[in-house]
Amino acid sequence: MKIEILNNYLTDENCYLVYNNSSCIVIDPGISLDLIIKKANELNVSIEYVFITHCHYDHIEYLEDLREKTGAKLVTSKNGADNIKNVNINLSAAALGKSIISKDAEIILNDNEKRSFCGMDVLCLYTPGHTNCGVCYVIENSVFVGDTLFLRNVGRCDLPTGDGNVLYKSIKEKLYTLDDDYKVYCGHGNPTTIGYEKKFNFYVKG
C-alpha cells in the first residue's frame, strides 16, 4: 500500500489516494477533480473506489465529479449515504452557496466490517460524534479518520448530528484500541499516531 496526500489549502482538507499496484482508492475528494486526476495519472493508477469518512461539504465537494469522470463506486456508511443528500447536514448550501446532493452509494459498510478493495483489506469502524455518519478506515497499519481525530485535537461537535459525548466514546473505544504505532491520517492537518494521541491529545487521553 502507498499513500499520496492532496491538500486543499482553502479548507486545509486532506484528500488521500491509497493505491496498490495499478488500482486506487480516493478517500474524501475535497480537492478539485483536475488535481485528483492529474495525480492518479502521474502515479499510473486507475481510480476504482471513492470512500468518504463523513458527509461534510469540504470532504465531498468533488465527489460526483469524480464518480462521473472515473466510474468509481462510492463506499460509505448507511448514515453517510443518507447525509450526503441532505444539504442541511452536509452544510453545502450554507458554506458554498450551492447544494450538493450526491447520488446513491454503491457500497455500504457496517461497523467492524472488513472487505477487500483494490487488493487491500479495509476495516470500517463506525465512529460517530463529529457527525452521526463518521467512519474510519483501517488499511494495514494506517487509519483514515476524517474529522474524528486530529493531531492533539478532535473534530468539533456543534454541527448538525454532532455529539461530544459520542465522539469521546468513539475515540476511546474504537481508535484508542488500535496499536500505538498505527499512523493516523486526518481530514485536516498533519498525520499523527494512535500512541501519540493517547498521550498528548488535549481532549481525549488514552
Question: pTM here?
Answer: 0.97
Work out the pLDDT band at 206, boundaries 50, 70, 90: confident
Share of the chain above pLDDT 90, in %: 97
To which CATH superfamily is domain 2-200 assigned? Ribonuclease Z/Hydroxyacylglutathione hydrolase-like (3.60.15.10)
Range 183-204 average pLDDT:
97
| Domain ranges, ordered by start, for the chain | 2-200
Q: Is the pLDDT of residue 133 over 90?
A: yes
Work out the pLDDT band at 145, boundaries 50, 70, 90: very high
Convert the chain into a string of H (helix), E (strand) and C (coil): CEEEEEEECCCCEEEEEEEECCEEEEECCCCCHHHHHHHHHHHCCEEEEEECCCCCHHHHCCHHHHHHHHCCEEEECHHHHHHCCCHHHHCHHHHHCCCCCCCCCCEECCCCEEEEECCEEEEEEECCCCCCCCEEEEECCEEEEECCEECCEECCCCCCCCCHHHHHHHHHHCHHHCCCCCEEEECECCCEEHHHHHHHCCCCCC
Work out the pLDDT band at 202, boundaries 50, 70, 90: very high
pLDDT at 34: 98
In tens, the pLDDT along 35-88 reads 999 999 999 999 999 999 999 999 999 999 999 999 999 999 999 999 999 999
Work out the pLDDT band at 143, boundaries 50, 70, 90: very high
In tens, the pLDDT along 83-105 reads 999 999 999 999 898 899 999 99
For 171, the grid coordinates are 475515540
